Amino acid sequence: DADVTQTPRNRITKTGKRIMLECSQTKGHDRMYWYRQDPGLGLRLIYYSFDVKDINKGEISDGYSVSRQAQAKFSLSLESAIPNQTALYFCATSDLDSDYGYTFGSGTRLTVV
């Protein structure tokens, strides 16, 4: 099994729908992150969490919310999806002892029509 698992891998949804992207990890890392990737813009931080009780907004949090249900689970919600939220979304984890920076999930490709 992957260290960081994202579900679903692909999703097409309609404008105005609520959608949740899920992330779970087996690394035992405290810190978890949600990024979105758009062509030519790299990855931009949406939300991050340093532990279950700590949630922080990133660079582009408007239109998104998150829930840290447990150390291993960090979900991203789009309350009312809009087409410009069409992107590739990545979950990542990190920890003080991590030599590799982030451990990324495989990504969720979301299309809002």
Partner 1 sequence: AQKVTQAQTEISVVEKEDVTLDCVYETRDTTYYLFWYKQPPSGELVFLIRRNSFDEQNEISGRYSWNFQKSTSSFNFTITASQVVDSAVYFCALSEFAYGQNFVFGPGTRLSVLP
Binding residues vs partner 1 (CB under 8 A): 31, 40-45, 48, 58, 88, 90, 92, 94-102, 104, 106-107, 109
Give me the least distance between CB of 89 and partner 1, in Å please.
Answer: 11
Whichever of 78 and 92 has its CB closer to partner 1, that residue is 92
Give me the least distance between CB of 62 and partner 1, in Å please.
Answer: 18
Backbone angles phi, psi at 41, to 5 degrees: -115, -5
Give me the least distance between CB of 80 and partner 1, in Å please.
Answer: 26
